[in-house]
Amino acid sequence: MSTISAHLLSPESLSTVGRAVERLSLLTLPSKMKCDPEVYEAELLLLYHHFESSLHLFCHQSSLNPSSDPTVAKDLGDLAMFLAHVTSFYLDKLANFPRQIAELLRSDA
> What are the angstrom distances between the C-alpha of 106 and each of 86, 100, 103?
23, 10, 5
Question: What pLDDT digit, counting tens, does each position of 32-61 carry?
Answer: 998 999 999 999 999 999 999 999 988 888
Name the band, by pLDDT with cuts 50, 70 and 90, for residue 5.
Answer: very low
* pTM across the whole model: 0.72
What single letter denotes the amino acid at residue 53? S
CA 97/CA 23 separation, integer angstroms: 25
Residue 21 has pLDDT above 90, yes or no: no
Question: What pLDDT digit, counting tens, does each position of 52-108 carry?
Answer: 999 998 888 877 776 667 788 888 999 999 999 999 999 999 999 999 999 998 887
CB 90 within 8 A of CB 40: no
CB 88 within 8 A of CB 35: no
